[in-house]
Amino acid sequence: MTPKTFDFTSFQPSHIKGAHRLSMSEQWPHRPEDWRLLASLSSGVVMLDGQTVVATALVSDFGPVATAGMILVDSRHRGRGFGRHVIDAAMAELPSRNDREWRLIATEDGLPLYRKMGFAEYGHVSQHQGIVMPENQDIPLPEPADVTRLDDIAAVDQAGTGMDRRPLLQEIFRQGQVFVNHRSGRVTGYAALRPFGFGEVLGPVIAASEADAKALIEPILASARGRFVRLDVPAEGALPAWLTRQGLPRVGGGLCMRKGAAPPTDERLASHALAAQALG
């Protein structure tokens, strides 16, 4: 049971300041602006000790898939079941549907809890960041896209991820840049770059192969030489070693976990970088 001295309520914009303070205490890079973006795309819950935010969890509804993230508990209040409490309550914020798959990125510390909740591992993510020092510098950028290509890009995104992330993509167009690969005028992949944390995040990247993903990422990194960039990529492929050579060493990672039946995807497309660990 939650102690009566703690209040438990839905996440509101007024909680962003306290949530940001909590994430800073864990040395997470999220700015208040990043919290505002997440909150605009999510539902969630907070636990309050008086006016102080002591636990958070957000969930994002992307149609057949929902993601859970920003699961934080103040270090002074751990070991009391608050993590499970806020996650359960946040997941309950979304309408129930039998065909929904849940996804999250877990730390080793969170792994036992998520396994108890029925989540299973299906991969690893490798976090890379730093000041870009690319091997190749004079590479023309892929074709820039504007919001008139939203339908095409959203279709490619859903084919590669199973998620309907149109609201997220609209925000990315508003805040950042989107670049596309295409064949015969048809979008076959894309990559996005937007402000985040200490600099920028490069993701999502959806492409048919790792080689196609590199062809999108490499010129974007070349254009960002000398700037701080982060990518979260599958740990199992060749991208981690390649990114390290671009001046973006591995600084962390996590376990990809899912619960429920996965929606159909196009096996010719895959996600090669996340939009954010909380957003898939």
List pLDDT tens digits, range 19-59.
Answer: 999 999 999 999 999 999 999 999 999 999 999 999 999 99
Domain with CATH 3.40.630.90 in the chain: 127-273
Reply yes or no on whether the pLDDT at 197 is more than 90: yes
232, β-bridge pairs: 127
**Contact indicator for 253, 125 with CB cutoff of 8 Å:** yes
Phi, psi of 32 (to 5 degrees): -55, -35
Output the pLDDT for position 185.
Answer: 80
Describe the crossing of helices 166-175 and 150-161 by its angle, rounded to 10 degrees: 130
Reply yes or no on whether the pLDDT at 135 is more than 80: no
Output the pLDDT for position 1.
Answer: 43
Phi, psi of 206 (to 5 degrees): -115, 125
Reply yes or no on whether the pLDDT at 3 is more than 70: no
Reply yes or no on whether the pLDDT at 2 is more than 60: no
- Rounded average pLDDT over 226-249: 96
User: How far, in Å, CA of 50 to CA of 18, rounded?
Assistant: 12
User: How far, in Å, CA of 182 to CA of 145, rounded?
Assistant: 11
**What pTM, to 2 d.p., does this model score?**
0.94
Output the pLDDT for position 101.
Answer: 97
User: How far, in Å, CA of 106 to CA of 219, rounded?
Assistant: 31
Output the pLDDT for position 52.
Answer: 93
State which CATH number among 3.20.20.150, 3.40.50.1970, 3.40.630.90, 2.20.25.90 fits the domain covering 127-273. Answer: 3.40.630.90
* pLDDT tens digits along 248-266: 999 999 999 999 999 999 9
6-97: CATH homologous superfamily?
A: Gcn5-related N-acetyltransferase (GNAT) (3.40.630.30)
Q: Which stretches does DSSP call E strand in 74-185?
A: 101-106, 120-131, 143-145, 177-183
**Contact indicator for 41, 251 with CB cutoff of 8 Å:** no
